[in-house]
Amino acid sequence: MSERFLLDHNAITVDVEDWYHVCGPGAALPAATRESWRVHRNLKKILALLDEHRRKGTFFMLGSVAENDPALAPMICSAGHEIASHGYSHRLVSDLTPQQFRDELRLTERILMKQTGQRPYGYRAPQWSLSEQTGWAFAILREQGYRYDSSLNPLPFVGTSRGRRTPYRLEGEGAGLWEIPPMVTRSWIGNLPTGGGWGFRFFPFRMIRATVEELNRSDHPAVLYLHPREVDPDGPRLELNYLKRFVSYGARTDAAPRLSELLRRYRFITLKEMVDEWQHVS
């Protein structure tokens, strides 16, 4: 049975990683070529948009990025937004052992606690790398005190194609954990990635709006996501083959105008606020 939520709300989520955290090869870049100042500048653009429209968002912080720029997490928290975990290294969860996954969670928690005084209660895996094959990771999230996950993208190839489109409670190893998938649009060829990344910039804006409104009419939130590099259309790109380049970058456009229009039209709160509200109505 599908969960139904009586509150009219949506979520803007930001995966706080640097421009080179794409498809794996960025980790091999020499440090001198990484231009890590970009994530700080681009994050300020996103925060300014949220402030302009008086909206709050959830920021999934990569621990290594927070460690490299200790001003980022406090800047987000001081503006009233939620800090969540994106792991530490941006390695796929499927490439980690259970102990390595646990260690990455704990390291990121320590960094964020030291910088902000707040611990993360939400998690999103790099590149949607949680699946039925990594059920042990959900058990570790519960063990570490997490309340929700937002990693099961209901898409083929880069997510969980048979996954649900709307929030639900996990069963089995992650029992009790809320799963909050990002927004996708149903079509005759399958789910389309309209909720973030290249799809958010590529598909017609009317399709994105229609999906938000369809979800809201059925008492479900639309969960959107973006990365700081997506408001930096002139930023650097990694050298990738054609398919990976399209999946990583799509059309070279700025996500900020579409984001601003959605912030103007719809209500957005943090994922933690959503989970808190669901506790009272479930």
Task: Report the relative pairing of strands 148-149 and 178-179 from DSSP bridges.
Answer: parallel
Residue 4 covered by a domain: no
CB contact set of 273 (below 8 Å; sequence gap of 6+): 9, 56, 82
Q: Is residue 2 part of a domain?
A: no
**Among 120, 30, 107, 66, residue whose Cα is nearest residue 228:** 66
Domain-embedded: residue 1: no
Is residue 237 one of the residues assigned to a domain?
A: yes
Tokens of 268: 């957005």
User: Which element (helix H / strand E) includes 149?
Assistant: strand 148-149
Give residue 199's Cα distance to chain centre: 14
Which value, in Å, is the radius of gyration of the alpha carbons in the chain?
17
Q: Residue by residue, what is the 3-state secondary structure of 74-85?
A: HHHHHCCCEEEE
Domain membership flag for residue 135 = yes
On whether residue 96 sits in a domain, the answer given is yes
* Residue 223 phi, psi dihedral angles, 5° rounding: -110, 110
Name the one residue in this structure whose structure tokens are 């929030």. Answer: 167
Question: What integer pLDDT is reported at residue 256 of this predicted model?
Answer: 94
pLDDT in tens, the chain (282 residues): 344 444 468 999 999 998 777 755 444 554 544 567 789 999 999 999 999 999 999 999 999 999 999 999 999 999 999 999 999 999 999 899 999 999 999 999 999 999 999 999 999 999 899 887 888 999 999 999 999 999 999 987 676 766 789 999 998 877 889 999 999 999 988 899 999 988 998 999 999 999 999 999 999 999 999 999 999 877 777 676 656 666 666 666 789 999 999 999 999 999 999 999 887 665
Q: Is 45 helix (H, G, I), strand (E, B) or coil?
A: helix
User: Which positions ≥6 away from 48 have C-beta within 8 Å?
Assistant: none
The answer to whether the beta carbons of residues 180 and 151 sit under 8 Å apart is no
pTM for this model (two decimals):
0.90
Residue with tokens 């402030």: 51
Report which secondary-structure segment, H or E, holds 11.
strand 11-16
CATH classification of the domain holding 95: 3.20.20.370
Among candidate residues 173, 190, 91, the one with its CA nearest the CA of residue 132? 173
How many domains would you assign to the chain?
1
Q: Is residue 78 a part of any domain in this protein? A: yes
Query: What letter does residue 88 receive in the DSSP assignment?
Result: S
- Supply the pLDDT for residue 5: 44
Beta-carbon contacts of residue 175 (< 8 Å; ≥ 6 apart): 142, 169
3, part of any domain = no
Domain that residue 120 falls in: 11-281
CA of 91: how far to CAs of 45, 126, 138, 215, 259, in Å? 27, 7, 17, 32, 28
Tokens of 228: 């700081």
Q: Which pLDDT score, from 0 to 100, does residue 220 have?
A: 94
Q: How far is CA 20 from CA 34, 64, 65, 148, 255, in A?
A: 7, 13, 11, 27, 18
Whether 83 and 124 have beta carbons less than 8 Å apart is answered as: no
